[in-house]
Chain A
């Protein structure tokens, strides 16, 4: 009985039956491709190699604004800029401070990093306000990190270390 209950919860059966709200329902069915292209173009103009980088801008369904979701996929040729010592935070800042983020009402940014095998290692998200706070010095590094939500694939990290 417990196994069945666990499986039902794992496969999100209550959400699929509409008994519990699915987080995806907050988002519109169609992505804003124009906003994604503008954001990617701006990153390229800033000297960032956008190979292996996919950006999706997902508008909220019932309110203005959207989420920008960037996939940095090393299995598709993505590499961080060699001169950056804090690349994930730099990407957060670059996207949050972009003109496209203002133009298209992007309110939250998510970054997913995939390894050379295509495995997701890290998935982080922060509001633009949090990122802006850290950029302009009103938030400390500690406060900024606490304001980030996400998931780390620890078992995949250990496998990468053992390689």
Chain B
């Protein structure tokens, strides 16, 4: 009778032990890497025997101090990469809100993301996607065109990125079943029409026909799918 709870505790303990062991091993990998790297750069606070490396401590303190107040490493790309942590923290916070907004069909969440990062055109695409989910095609097209126009002003690389992001977003929406909101217009057929229209525009601008040739759910777009 009491075997089940005992087995449960045993397996839970085993799982916890193996997870802790993995985490400890990972920390060891990271620590070894940090020490090897710091030694090569002469900023390691310890020697191989574990004693304090005074020169390394001083160099490490100078390194940390100068970075903290924003003194350049001399290479702007390195500075940007090391400072990117702050950028990605903001992106993650806003991305989480925007993606949750798309999944839940809640435009307010996407608005919050836009407020956090107003220049990120990916969120304009997501606001368009939520409008599309709610069958507000006019507003959706307005958002997509706005994102396109602003991306175009930033150059071809940004335009391609924004258009690809839109196609990926539409793909994900279809596969996740977000198109259930479009029930009054024939459900997915209507969505596929919009998808193919966007895929054609994407092909015309980028020359990449992969989205046109690969409809979500299988098959290829044809003119008969396009909205009339």
Contacts and interface: CB of A to CB of B under 8 A. Distances in A.
A70 to B, nearest CB: 10
B158 A22 contact: no
B101 to A, nearest CB: 15
A56 B84 contact: yes
- Best-surrounded residue of A6, A24, A32, A33 (most CB of chain B within 10 A): A33
Contact of B26 (A14, A23, A79, A148): A79
B86 to A, nearest CB: 7
Contact of B87 (A54, A58, A107, A146): A58
Q: How large is the interface on A (under 10, 10 to 19, 20 to 34, 35 or more residues)?
A: 35 or more
Contacts of A152: 34, 37-38
Interface of A: 6, 9-10, 12, 14-15, 20, 22-24, 26-35, 37, 54, 56, 58-60, 64, 67, 69, 71, 74, 79-80, 82, 86-89, 107-108, 110, 112-113, 115-116, 120-125, 127, 142, 145-146, 148-152, 154, 157, 160-161
Contacts of A149: 73, 75, 78, 81-82
A37 B30 contact: no
23 contacts: A9-B68, A12-B70, A24-B80, A26-B79, A26-B80, A28-B154, A28-B158, A29-B117, A29-B119, A30-B122, A31-B122, A34-B168, A58-B87, A59-B157, A67-B80, A69-B85, A86-B33, A107-B77, A121-B30, A145-B41, A149-B75, A152-B37, A161-B31
B81 A89 contact: no
A143 B74 CA distance: 18
Interface string B167-191: 0100000000000000000000000
Nearest to B33: A88
A59 B80 CA distance: 11
Interface of B: 22-23, 25-27, 29-31, 33-34, 36-38, 40-41, 45, 60, 63-64, 67-70, 72-73, 75-88, 91-92, 117, 119-122, 154, 157-158, 161-162, 164-165, 168
A35 B78 CA distance: 20
B157 A110 contact: no
Given A14-B70, A152-B37, 10 more contacts: A26-B79, A29-B120, A58-B80, A58-B88, A67-B84, A82-B22, A116-B23, A120-B85, A121-B34, A122-B30
A74 B27 CA distance: 10
